Amino acid sequence: MGEYDRINQNAQSYNQGELPENGGIKNFFRRLGRKLTFWYINPFGEKQNSFNRESAGMITELSERIDANDDVTKYIAEVLKNEVSALNSKIDATADNLNKYIRLSEPELRKKISPTLKGEIDSFVTAGLTKSISSVDDESLEQWGIEYKKKILAEISANAERKGTVAIVCMNFLMSRGIDAVRNEALELYKLLKRTCSYNLKFISIEKNITEMQIKGGLMLIPEKGAGEIIKSLNLSLCILCETTPNIVLQDNCSLLAEHIIFKLSGQNPLNNLSENTLRELIHFNDFGQHKYLVQSSKAADIMEEKGFRRPEISYPLTSDGKIYIRKRIFSTEKFTVGFASSPMKLEQSEARGVNLLCSVIKSNPDIKFKILWRYENVDLPYIMKMARNCTVISGAYDMGKFYSEIDCIIIPYQSINYNHACSLSAIEAMRNFIPVVCTSVSGVSEVVAECGMGEVSGIDEPSVSSALRRVKNRYRDYLTPMTKQRLEDMICSRNITDIIESEADKNRSAKPVSLYEWDRRLRLDNKYLVMGHKAMKEYYSRLEIAENYTQERFTSPALKYFDFIERQNVGVIFDNYFGAVSLLILDAACGDGRITAECIRHGKCISADASAEMLRVVKNRFAEYRNGPDVAVIDIIADNIRGKYDAVTCFRYIRHFEYSSRKLIYNKFRDILTEDGILIFDVPNIDFEVPLKNIKGWEKYNIYDVFFDRESIERELKLSGFRIKYIIPTGQGLMTDLPANIRNRPMTWTVGAVKL
C-alpha cells in the first residue's frame, strides 16, 4: 500500500469513529492553532517574522509525522475544528484596522511610523544623535552640527526611499492645462496628495511635442516614444493614470500594461474604441489585482462590469478649494445666464458632446443669455453661436472663477455616452459654487444632480432641455438650499481618495503577472496552449486522459499531497463547526475526480456534479464500494439550471478558473440553491503566493487559467454577490520548501466558508 493510500485509509477510519488517545499530536495542533490566532491578532514586524519561522518549522514537523505514518491523520480534523472557532472570532482584528487608524494621522507622521510597524526600518529617532552633543565642546560644536545634518538628511532620504513613490500620469498636460478637465483634475489630485499622502509623489505628463525628458518644477515631462520604459524605470509603488479611457496604457507598445496601476477614468463610456484583445488583457490584469479602476458615474461602472471587469469604485471629480467662490452676483430672471464650458474635442465628437442640441436651445430661448467657453480643436464656431444676440463666446483658456461669477446655471447637453465625461468637472464646480445644473439624462453627472436636487435632468431633445432651463429660471432658489448643498458634499466626498490610493500602494505588487499573450506564447513553445473560458475548460476536462490523471498530475509531490490532505480537513472542520453533528445534503460542484467528495460523504448525502462525463466515471469507480457513496449528476455549473436546495455547496479548483463575469454567475447560482442557513465552501488562491511562484517556476508550466486574490478583493467580490465570509483558513504555509522563505511562508490558498448576507 502506497503512502497516499495509507493517508486516505486513516482518514476513512476517522470517519468510522476510531480515535485512539495521542496527547502529543493533539498538543502539536493546539500550538499551531495558538500560533494562527497570534498571527491574526499581531501581524506586525518581528512578531510576524517570528510567526513565519515558527509556523514553517511546525509545518515541517507535521510533514515528518505524516511521513512516519503516525496517528496525525486521525486527529487533525478533531483538533483543528476546535481551534478554528476561536480563530475566526478574532479574524477581523487584522493589520487593516491599524492601517486605517494610521491613515487618520498626518502624512508626515505616517511616513515615520508605519514602516516601523511593518518591521522594515527603525523609527525616525534622533535621540542617539542628540545625546552625543553633551560631550562636545564649544569649539567642536559647529563641526558636530555639520555631521548631525548629514546623518539626519541621510535618514530622511533612506526613509523616503523605503516608503516608495506614487506617480500621477496624464497626457499632454502642457498643451491642455486650464482648458481640459482631465489634465486639471490630475493636477488637483497631485496637489491633494502632496498635502495628505505618506508616499513620495511624482507628477508626469506624456507629451507629444518633445523628444527628451524635461523637469519643470514638480512636473516631469517625458516624450511619447519610450514613455512606458521611462515610467517603469522609476520602480513605482503605484501609478495613477488619469484619462477618459484606459488607452493611455497602450503607450510605448503596451510596456505599462503589467504595472501596478489605478486608472482614474473620466469617460462615461470608459471602454470606448478599445479592441477585444485589449479588453481581454485589461480584464486579466484587473482580475489579478494589478489594475484598479475608479470611474465617475454608476453608468460607467455598469459598462465596465457588464464587460467583465470587477466593479469599479465611483470617485467623483476633484475640485480645487481655490475655485469655490462666494458669489456676489445677484440673481435676476431678466439677466438669467446659462454657461457651457467645453473640453477640447474633435469635429466628429461634437454631436455627442451636444453642440447641435445646444445651438437649438440657444435659438429657441432668445430671452435667456448664454456664455460659451469654446475649446474645440480645429472646429469652427457654429453659425447660430456666431449670430445669436443672446450668446457670448470666449475661445481658449478663461478664468473659471470669473466664469462662475458671471453665470446663473450651467448646461451639460450631452447626447451620447461616447466621447463624453461621466461627471463633468464644470458641473461639480458649479454646484459647489451654488450654481444649479441642467443636464441630459445620458450625462453621468445626471445621477449627482438627481440625488442632491441642485438642478434638473432633461431628455436629449430641445423641448425637454428648454423646459428644464425655464424651471430653473422660475424656481431658482428652490434648488439652492442648505439641504441640497449638504447632499452634494456627502455624495462627492463619500470616500477619501487618499485612503484609496494608499491602500492600493500598500499592497506592494512588485511581483508582476505576465500578459495573456505572453502566457499563451510560452505554452505554445512547448506544444501546449492556455486553457481559458467556459467552452475551452469544458472541452479540456472532458478528455479521458485528463480525467484519469487529474489527481496524479496535481497532488503527487509530497508538498501538494499534504496540501490536498489539509485542504480536505479544512472542509470537514467547517462542516463540523458550522453545522455540528447533523446529516447534510451537499452538492460537490465541479467535483472533478471526487477529491473533495471524499470529505463531503462523511457529513451526509452528497451529489457530485460535473460537466465532464469522464470525470464522473472516475468518481463512480472511486466510490463504487462505499455504502454512503455519492450520487453523480452531469451538470454544467455555468450553462445549466441547478435544481434543489442544499445545506452546503463545495466547489474547489473551479471558480478560480473564470473571469469575473462568469464568477458572478456562479456565485448567484450557488446562492439560489443554498438553504437560508447554507454555506458555500471553496478555495481562493493567494495572489501574493501564486504570482511569485509562477514567476520562479515559469508561467509555461501552468496551462489552466487561474485568477488569484488578496483578502480584500475576495471579500468585496463575495459581498457584491450577496455573501459574507464566515470562515477563512490559510492553507499550505511552509509546504513548498524549494521556494524563498518570504514566499514559502505565505498561504498558498485560503479555504473560504461564505454564508448569505
pLDDT score of 326 more than 60:
no
pLDDT score of 613 more than 60:
yes
**pLDDT per position as a tens digit, 14-27:** 333 333 334 455 55
Where in the sequence is the domain holding 471, given as residue range(s)? 322-493
- Do 186 and 293 lie in one domain? The reply is yes
Residue labelled with grid coordinates 496540501: 563
**pLDDT per position as a tens digit, 163-195:** 789 999 999 888 777 678 888 889 989 998 988
- Do 178 and 156 lie in one domain? The reply is no
Q: Residue 407: inside a domain, yes or no? A: yes
pLDDT score of 358 more than 70:
yes
- Do 29 and 74 lie in one domain? The reply is yes
Indicate the residue among 89, 119, 135 that finishes a domain: 89
Domain containing 739 — which CATH number?
Answer: 3.40.50.150
Q: How far apart are CA 423 and CA 451, in angstroms?
A: 13
| Contact assessment for residue 248 and residue 225, using Cβ atoms and an 8 Å cutoff | no
- Do 206 and 302 lie in one domain? The reply is yes
Q: Comparing 551 with 437, which gets the higher pLDDT? A: 437
Tally the domains of the chain.
Answer: 5
Percent of the chain past pLDDT 70, that is, above it, reads 77
Highest mean pLDDT among 349-353, 418-422, 474-478: 474-478
- DSSP letter for 49, please: H
- Do 595 and 703 lie in one domain? The reply is yes
pLDDT band with cut points at 50, 70 and 90 for residue 198: confident
| pLDDT, position 714 | 95
Q: Residue 391: inside a domain, yes or no? A: yes
Q: Residue 506: inside a domain, yes or no? A: no
What is the residue type of 449?
V
pLDDT band with cut points at 50, 70 and 90 for residue 11: very low
Lowest mean pLDDT, pick from 220-234, 323-337, 641-655, 692-706: 323-337
What's this model's pTM, rounded to 2 decimal places? 0.77
pLDDT score of 423 more than 90:
no
pLDDT band with cut points at 50, 70 and 90 for residue 325: low
- Do 22 and 35 lie in one domain? The reply is yes
- DSSP letter for 134, please: G
Q: In sequence order, what DSSP letters do the residues of 676-695 get, joined into one string?
A: EEEEEEEEEEBHHHHHHHHH
- Do 120 and 238 lie in one domain? The reply is no
Q: Residue 140: inside a domain, yes or no? A: yes
- Report the C-alpha dihedral over residues 56, 62, 67, 72, rounded to 10 degrees: -170
- Do 137 and 187 lie in one domain? The reply is no
| pLDDT, position 18 | 33
- Do 215 and 128 lie in one domain? The reply is no
Q: Residue 510: inside a domain, yes or no? A: no
In total, the chain counts a number of residues equal to: 757
Beta bridge partners of 262: 240, 292
Q: How far apart are CA 328 and CA 142, in angstroms?
A: 57
**pLDDT per position as a tens digit, 85-137:** 545 544 444 434 444 443 444 555 455 444 433 333 344 445 566 666 667 77
- Report the C-alpha dihedral over residues 716, 734, 35, 678, rounded to 10 degrees: 40
Indicate the residue among 431, 458, 493 that finishes a domain: 493
Q: In sequence order, what DSSP letters do the residues of 566-582 get, joined into one string?
A: HHHHHHHHHHHHHH-S-
Q: Residue 507: inside a domain, yes or no? A: no
- Do 202 and 236 lie in one domain? The reply is yes
Angle subtended at Cα 745 by Cα 740 and Cα 746, rounded to the nearest 5 degrees: 110
pLDDT score of 83 more than 70:
no
**Nearest CA-CA partner of 262 in 249, 275, 251, 250:** 249
Q: Residue 46: inside a domain, yes or no? A: yes
- Do 520 and 383 lie in one domain? The reply is no
pLDDT score of 37 more than 50:
no
Mean pLDDT of 446-475: 95
Average pLDDT of the residues of the chain: 81
| pLDDT, position 174 | 83
Lowest mean pLDDT, pick from 136-145, 400-409, 536-545: 136-145
Q: Residue 374: inside a domain, yes or no? A: yes
| pLDDT, position 751 | 95
- DSSP letter for 335, please: G
Mean pLDDT of 600-622: 93
Mean pLDDT of 633-655: 95
Sheet containing 219-223: give its strands across. 214-216, 219-223, 200-207, 165-171, 238-243, 261-265, 291-295, 313-314
- Do 177 and 217 lie in one domain? The reply is yes
Domain containing 229 — which CATH number?
Answer: 3.40.50.2000
Lowest mean pLDDT, pick from 127-136, 267-276, 564-573: 127-136
Residue labelled with grid coordinates 466547489: 651
Indicate the residue among 39, 60, 89 that finishes a domain: 89
Highest mean pLDDT among 30-44, 66-80, 208-222, 634-648: 634-648
What would the grid cell of residue 159 be?
Answer: 526613509
